[in-house]
């Protein structure tokens, strides 16, 4: 391939700014087709974004000969099946996060893609954002010495039902895999995997404290990284305020930063306090998409793969396992 020609399955809200336009902006890449089950909405998206083709059936997009790579931007319940369908015809897959509803589905996706020799990538795009690359640079330079522990805290008020009086799919476990923990904490846990090392041991507790929707709304966990660093996290989605903070503490200082907020990265060490204000690009997935395109063309390596994303699914599964086993 000398150009990656993308097709999007599920051209919904996440693709409007975060990802969709980036496929035409990165080098050696173009967006040639989109799909949505509502054909009128697919057509509208294609016309607004100057996409040549639109479909209302995923199979038609997957088998379009002009499409040579597929981006799956549906809810997680569809990720496994669409990934397998694309891999059957030898097309590389880029799938939204979380990778699937659970680690077992992730394993099926990885195994099938390997059998078909098809690359598989996941949209943990924070691995390619300048803001978090700065955190990694500070850690790698030893600005806080040897890392000892990390803490994460993310709280939000209880979400509301949609305009139809229904709970969004993100808190319907049969579609999402769990609650907002799967949707939001996956980004933080994947970042920690990238910044520190893979997590290899997990102990967690989950609860439905507000009893508003079926999924858990509170998760607390302790974890140990492969390199010996210890971590803990609290995620509460029926709290009184928005808060999002990660703290990495070492032998010579500490770094604090947010996963979602635009607050400055703060470095505290013997040189005092330094702050780094780094804005996100307009199309937040563009950096990772460029890495993926370059890997497909043999020029670079993507930092987010099926294997790395499966690790995050496994960590989340372990934290909520007892909650769902008890029913």
Alpha helices by DSSP H, listed for the chain, are 22-25, 39-48, 58-62, 79-88, 103-115, 130-140, 173-176, 180, 186-195, 286-296, 306-326
Q: What is the pLDDT of residues 5-47, one digit of tens each?
A: 999 999 999 999 999 999 999 999 999 999 999 999 999 999 9
Q: Which of 30, 248, 287, 34 is nearest to 145 (CA)?
A: 248
Alpha-carbon torsion, ordered 238, 243, 244, 246, to 10 deg: -110
CA distance 297 to 231: 37
CA distance 6 to 69: 5
Domains by residue range for the chain, with CATH: 4-123+284-301 (3.40.50.720), 130-279 (3.30.360.10)
Mean pLDDT of the 155-159 span:
97
Counting Cα atoms < 13 Å in the Cβ hemisphere of 17 gives: 4
Q: What is the pLDDT of residues 194-205, one digit of tens each?
A: 999 999 999 999
Token pair 């804005």: residue = 279
Q: What is the pLDDT of residues 262-276, one digit of tens each?
A: 999 999 999 999 999
* Pair 240, 254: CB distance under 8 Å: no
DSSP 228: S
Q: How confident is the model at residue 136 (pLDDT cuts 50, 70, 90)?
A: very high
Q: What is the mean pLDDT of the chain?
A: 97
DSSP 210: S
61-78 burial, b if ≥16 CB within 10 A, otherwise e? bbbbeebbbbbbbbbbbb
Mean pLDDT of the 227-231 span:
98
Q: What is the pLDDT of residues 160-181, one digit of tens each?
A: 999 999 999 999 999 999 999 9
* Pair 266, 275: CB distance under 8 Å: yes
pTM: 0.96
Q: What is the pLDDT of residues 236-286, one digit of tens each?
A: 999 999 999 999 999 999 999 999 999 999 999 999 999 999 999 999 999
- Give Cα 256 to chain centroid, integer Å: 21
Task: Give bridge partners of residue 245 from the DSSP assignment.
Answer: 153
Q: Is the peptide bond before 98 cis (omega within 30 degrees of 0)?
A: yes
Task: Indicate if the pLDDT at residue 112 is higher than 80.
Answer: yes
Q: Return the pLDDT at 327.
A: 72
Q: Return the pLDDT at 326.
A: 86
How many separate helices (H) and strands (E) can be counted in the chain? 11, 14
Which pair of structure tokens corresponds to residue 127? 């691995």
Q: Return the pLDDT at 263.
A: 94
């Amino acid at each position: 391939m000398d150009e990656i020609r993308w097709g999007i399955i599920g051209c919904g809200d996440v693709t409007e700014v975060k990802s969709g336009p980036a496929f035409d902006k990165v080098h050696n890449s173009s967006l040639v087709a989109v799909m949505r089950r509502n054909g009128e909405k697919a057509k509208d998206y294609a016309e607004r974004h100057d996409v040549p083709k639109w479909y209302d059936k995923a199979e038609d997009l997957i088998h379009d000969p002009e499409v040579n790579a597929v981006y799956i931007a549906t809810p997680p319940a569809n990720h496994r099946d669409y990934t397998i369908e694309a891999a059957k015809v030898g097309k590389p897959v880029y799938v939204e996060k979380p990778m699937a509803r659970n680690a077992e589905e992730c394993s099926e996706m990885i195994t099938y893609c390997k059998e078909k020799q098809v690359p598989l990538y996941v949209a943990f795009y924070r691995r390619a954002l300048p803001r978090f690359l700065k955190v990694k640079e500070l850690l790698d330079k030893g600005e806080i010495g040897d890392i000892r522990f990390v803490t994460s805290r993310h709280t939000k008020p209880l979400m509301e039902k949609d305009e139809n009086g229904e709970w969004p799919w993100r808190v319907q476990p049969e579609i999402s895999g769990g609650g907002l923990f799967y949707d939001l904490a996956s980004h933080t846990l994947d970042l920690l995997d990238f910044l520190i090392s893979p997590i290899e041991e997990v102990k967690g507790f989950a609860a439905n404290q507000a009893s508003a929707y079926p999924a858990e709304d509170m998760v607390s966990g302790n974890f140990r990284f492969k390199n010996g660093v210890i971590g803990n996290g609290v995620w509460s989605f029926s709290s009184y305020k928005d808060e999002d903070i990660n703290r990495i503490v070492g032998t010579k200082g500490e770094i604090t930063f947010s996963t979602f907020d635009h607050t400055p990265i703060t470095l505290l060490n013997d040189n005092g306090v330094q702050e780094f204000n780094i804005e996100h690009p307009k199309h937040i997935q563009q950096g990772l998409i460029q890495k993926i395109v370059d890997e497909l063309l043999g020029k670079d390596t993507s930092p987010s793969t099926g294997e790395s994303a499966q690790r995050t699914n496994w960590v989340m599964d372990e934290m909520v396992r007892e909650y769902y086993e008890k029913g």
